[in-house]
Chains A and B, each alone.
Chain A
Amino acid sequence: MMDELLNDAVRQLLADQCTPAVVRAIEAGGSHAALWQQIENAGFADALVSEEAGGAGLNLADVFGMLELCGTYALPVPLGETMLARGLLAASGIARPPGSIALTLATRVSDGHIASALVGSGRIADHVLVQCDGQARLLRTADAIASAAVFPLDAALRWPIARWNAAPQLPDAVDLRSLQACVYAAQLSGALMAVFQRTLAHANEREQFGRPIGKFQAIQHQLSVISEHTFAARMAAQIGCRSDGIVPDRLCVAVAKARTSEAALEVAALAHAIHGAIGFTAEFDLQLFTRRLHLWRQAGGSESYWQDVVGTALLDGEHAMVLDLIRGVTDIH
């Protein structure tokens, strides 16, 4: 109930503040500050922070809907990542800096830097929670040497080792890859729903041969397949957010990211097929979502990366029957 109210508030804010025009402007290099400030003022970024520490005290499963909405509105700031990072920081008693926090895995390179070739939202995040050599530390983006990545909001970042050594460190090891994949799986679910609904609307509006194309059986069946993938992916993404606390379960995340990534590929292709040339234009909003389907399919590990995680659990785990692994990730109590 609590999370339903919160979802409504997030939906309302994003519908007003995160319009396609705003998404385009930020992607084109415009300021994201006003959008972020609205989100910050609403307190959404502290959803996973305990109530004693000034947050909403929710757990990961509670915020699935919020994470999903970030995808539904193609939100061009890292709210989901920030929620998780702030939750971890607060749980460790580390002061939470204002502003957004990206998540990345980095390596120590020979010239004495801590480097990540791809930081999702690295161009716009204020901080980055960086995992390197089994430690996670919070670094300022302003202290990094930045260079461009492929997606306009992302960046390659490198920090001098002295910055890393001086940065606050989470006391416990954290599986940052699982956190990323959990967020992206939920965002994929939201983006899939957006693409599905937009494609359905287009099929009802666009007329050819004297009737809406949605009246043709071939189009109807493609839309049915889109809906199947969308709802299976949504269930998978919910599995990824299963947790009593704020840290997801790696196997549940693996199922979530593998399945949502598969769905992203199928649905993006079908949606463009149904839209025809108009969906291929910059002006039409579909691309804001289908480009993200591809982006988030790749981010945090593609389907094969996570299928390997599930496969390893199946082969090396305790269960003789696949059913028992499936029950383990889907049974809630």
Chain B
Amino acid sequence: MSALDSLTLTAIPPEDEALREPVRAFLREALQDVPSRVRAKSWSGYDPAFSRALGQKGWLGITLPPAYGGGGRSAFARYVLVEEFLNWGAPVGSHWIADRQSAPLILRYGTEAQRQFYIPPICRGESFFCIGMSEPNAGSDLASVRTRATRTEAGWTLNGQKIWTTNAHHCQYMIALVRTSGDFGDRQKGLSQLIVDLSLPGVTVRPITDLSGDSHFCEVFFDNVQLQADALIGAEGKGWEQVNAELAFERSGPERLFSSIVLFDEWLAFVRTPAGRTPSALRLAGKIASQLAPLRAMSVAVTEKLTRGESPLVEAALVKDLGTGVEQFIPAAIADDLFSRESADVPLELLQTLSYVTHVAPSFSLRGGTRDILRGMIARGLGLR
């Protein structure tokens, strides 16, 4: 556990912290009329115009090199921006995946031509990506993907199906994990990542309605989709390693602590009123804040590891498993608080926000790897596997 021993209180550099005030001023203005039940969608909220506005401000691709339109800043700069986006409930879903992991992946594994082509429009908030990992029979068992790309004269022919693909119906591109050699039984071997232009013939995207009534995830079908040779990102057969590098970025960020934070702040505003304040609500507020504070410090400490080029997979899994637990506790505990009152004159807006977060909360510990997968990874880090 020596890697985890090194998780210590870490400072956000002042030059990155300095981003907070301008982004906060922008968000205060942009979101002043947006009700909390909408802001609670957080990084599931889809608004391409908002993403373009962030791009114009230079707040997308902030960690990427200026040569590709990025901000040339550290992972801490992105941490500060994202922490503000989430806490204000900004609709950041359109560009979320591209900014968080697709562009860094292309930067790390892509050719110069791929970088020049894909990264600048991501930084402008014009190009959106989705992650093609899960399939009907490859969920937690990701290595059993069956979607297959076979070589052609010009490149690749893609056949198969992805599912639970967030925002596929709004994205131009998918980075898909597919089999390029070997067979189903070969597991992690023979997998590669391909960038799929979702406007190509043979691609069918079908939204799936979730239990809250939203359609944020999709089924995506590939029927003899013809891809150019340069659709391959990184090395053929190295898809598994690349996907795992991507997951460290995916699991440790502030989005694993703050998914219910708009609800919490809205509830807090009610508890601050004379009608809302009770001893038990005060204690609950303290309980949640004292769980979030060390988690935030851990997330910042993992960010520091990312800035050093490490891939802190186990630490990230630890933050995500604990963090999503708090995210799920928040709606459950707030509901109990509000409905334990004899007569609660609770604002409708708060109740609607609570209802929304209650409905979507199960997904917090599914997306990006289930609890059981994360605990298995931690156990491997402990040397138990």
Contacts and interface: CB of A to CB of B under 8 A. Distances in A.
A320 interface: yes
B52 to A, nearest CB: 26
Nearest to A241: B9
Nearest to A304: B283
B292 interface: yes
Given A307-B290, A332-B10, 20 more contacts: A203-B384, A219-B384, A220-B375, A221-B376, A224-B318, A225-B321, A234-B7, A262-B291, A308-B283, A310-B286, A310-B290, A314-B282, A315-B271, A315-B282, A320-B265, A323-B261, A326-B289, A326-B296, A330-B297, A331-B11
Nearest to A261: B290
Interface of A: 197, 200, 203-204, 214-215, 217, 219-221, 223-225, 227-229, 231-236, 238-239, 242, 254-255, 258-259, 262, 303-304, 306-315, 320-323, 325-327, 329-333
A225 B382 contact: no
Interface residues of B, number: 55
A17 B286 CA distance: 40
B290 A306 contact: yes
B84 to A, nearest CB: 8
A323 B257 CA distance: 11
A322 B261 contact: yes
Given A228-B378, A330-B9, A332-B10, A308 B292 contact: no
Contacts of A333: 11, 14
Nearest to B257: A326
Contact of A259 (B265, B290, B383): B290
Given A220-B375, A228-B378, A236-B294, A308 B87 contact: no
A308 B83 contact: no
B295 interface: yes
Q: Is the contact region of chain A dominated by helix, strand, or loop, or is it mixed? A: helix
For the complex of A and B, the 6 pairs showing the least CB-CB separation, nearest first, are A311-B286, A310-B286, A307-B286, A220-B379, A311-B282, A224-B378
A315 B57 CA distance: 34
Interface in B224-262: 258, 261
A330 B287 contact: no
B379 A303 contact: no
B294 A255 contact: yes
Interface in B74-100: 83, 87
A122 B343 CA distance: 48
Centre residue among B279, B298, B300 by max chain A CB count within 10 A? B298
B268 interface: yes
B271 A259 contact: no
B194 to A, nearest CB: 33
Contacts of A310: 285-287, 289-290
A239 B298 CA distance: 11
A181 to B, nearest CB: 12
Max chain A CB contacts within 10 Å: which of B285, B293, B298?
A: B293
A308 B9 CA distance: 24
B372 interface: yes
Contact of A322 (B7, B268, B295): B268
Contact of A255 (B17, B261, B289): B289
B293 A314 contact: no
B277 interface: yes
Contact of B290 (A200, A221, A255, A315): A255
Contacts, number: 168
Contacts of A327: 296
Q: Could you say which of A238, A323, A333 has the most chain B C-beta atoms within 10 Å of its C-beta? A: A323
Given A258-B290, A323-B261, A231 B9 contact: no
B291 A312 contact: no
A325 B322 contact: no
Nearest to B374: A224
14 contacts: A223-B379, A223-B382, A227-B378, A235-B298, A238-B8, A255-B289, A258-B286, A303-B290, A308-B279, A310-B287, A310-B290, A322-B268, A323-B261, A331-B11
A236 B8 CA distance: 10
B23 interface: no
Given A321-B265, A332-B10, A308 B286 contact: yes
B272 interface: yes
B275 interface: no
A231 B1 CA distance: 10
B384 A223 contact: yes
Contacts of A325: 289, 293
Contacts of A233: 294
Nearest to B322: A228
Given A303-B287, A311-B286, A239 B294 contact: yes
A59 to B, nearest CB: 14
B275 to A, nearest CB: 13
Interface in B293-318: 293-298, 300-301, 318
A148 B337 CA distance: 40
A259 B376 contact: no
B284 A311 contact: yes
Contacts of A314: 268, 282, 285-286, 289
A325 B23 CA distance: 18
A330 B293 contact: yes
A325 B290 CA distance: 10
A118 to B, nearest CB: 23
A34 B284 CA distance: 46
B292 A322 contact: yes
Contacts of B281: 311
A314 B277 CA distance: 12
A306 B286 contact: yes
A220 B7 contact: no
Contacts of B12: 331
Contacts of A214: 384
